[in-house]
């Protein structure tokens, strides 16, 4: 049975890379990661956005890792959605757990960023996810639904085709621990049911929900087989040729 939603493979490079290393990544992306069945998007550090966009196959998208909620101004060290667009990139990741938990970004601020990025025409990849103590306290759904509410409040009905959601349990990011396929599927299904009630059944059916958190070449096929997991947002593995296997898991 063919997938209802086109598989998505996102590579978040985080604060890694230099031109030499990026050239190596671009080489394997262009050679092995262009797949008609999979939408591939990579997110280099901001200083390399234009460099990557110029060298990468145009069928692969390029994302900013973050942006602010306005077009310009006295916000030293930040970038805007307009700037990402100006260098011909068409995606932005917002609300990644590191922005929430290392840099202290609130649900409200992330919602405002989503609203502005969509308003200038970017595709948006908002991230949600619970900490270990929240999962252990049985609060996974409470946390991710609260985070999602701040996001959906800032998305107009005609903008949902430019939104891809990433569920990334904080306890599984970069730790080597990952949610089992069953744990991830349970949260994804719960999110889809919640979206059906809060937004619409059509949006819930069409929106892609990615899993992120220690996705590897070893576990990607089992995760990809779950009906409500529509792809991955990958950190460390996207810097290596393992990413090829992760992309190809979407064609199976």
Cβ atoms within 10 Å of 225's Cβ, excluding its own: 12
Q: Which of 96, 98, 112, 130 is catalytic?
A: 96
Residues 6+ apart with CB under 8 A from 53: 62, 87, 88, 89
Place of tokens 């059944």: 201
27 is catalytic: no
Burial pattern 85-99, b for ≥16 Cβ within 10 A else e, equals bebebbbbbbbbbbb
Strands (E), the chain: 7-12, 38-43, 61-64, 91-94, 123-128, 164-167, 208-211, 231-234
Q: Which of 39, 130, 168, 188 is catalytic?
A: 168
96 is catalytic: yes
Q: How many helices (H) and strands (E) does the chain have?
A: 11, 8
Catalytic residues: 96, 168
């Amino acid at each position: 049975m063919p997938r209802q939603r086109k598989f998505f493979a996102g590579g978040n490079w985080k604060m890694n890379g230099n031109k030499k290393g990026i050239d190596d990544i671009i080489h394997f992306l262009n050679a092995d990661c262009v797949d008609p069945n999979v939408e591939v998007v990579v997110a280099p550090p901001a200083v390399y956005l234009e460099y990557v966009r110029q060298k990468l196959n145009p069928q692969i998208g390029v994302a900013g890792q973050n942006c602010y909620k306005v077009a310009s101004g006295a916000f030293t060290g930040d970038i805007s959605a307009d700037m990402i667009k100006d260098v011909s990139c068409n995606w932005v990741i917002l609300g990644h757990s590191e922005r929430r938990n290392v840099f202290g970004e609130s649900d409200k601020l992330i919602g405002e960023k989503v609203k502005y990025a969509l308003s200038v025409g970017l595709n948006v990849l908002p991230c949600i996810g619970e900490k270990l103590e929240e999962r252990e306290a049985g609060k996974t759904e409470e946390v991710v639904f609260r985070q999602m509410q701040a996001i959906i409040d800032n998305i107009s009905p005609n903008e949902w085709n430019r939104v891809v959601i990433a569920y990334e349990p904080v306890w599984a990011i970069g730790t080597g621990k990952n949610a089992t396929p069953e744990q991830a599927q349970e949260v994804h299904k719960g999110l889809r049911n919640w979206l059906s009630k809060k937004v619409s059944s059509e949006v819930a059916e069409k929106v892609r929900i990615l899993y992120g958190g220690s996705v590897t070449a070893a576990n990607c096929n089992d995760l990809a087989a779950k009906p409500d997991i529509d792809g991955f947002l990958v950190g460390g593995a996207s810097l290596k040729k393992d990413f090829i296997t992760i992309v190809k898991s979407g064609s199976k």
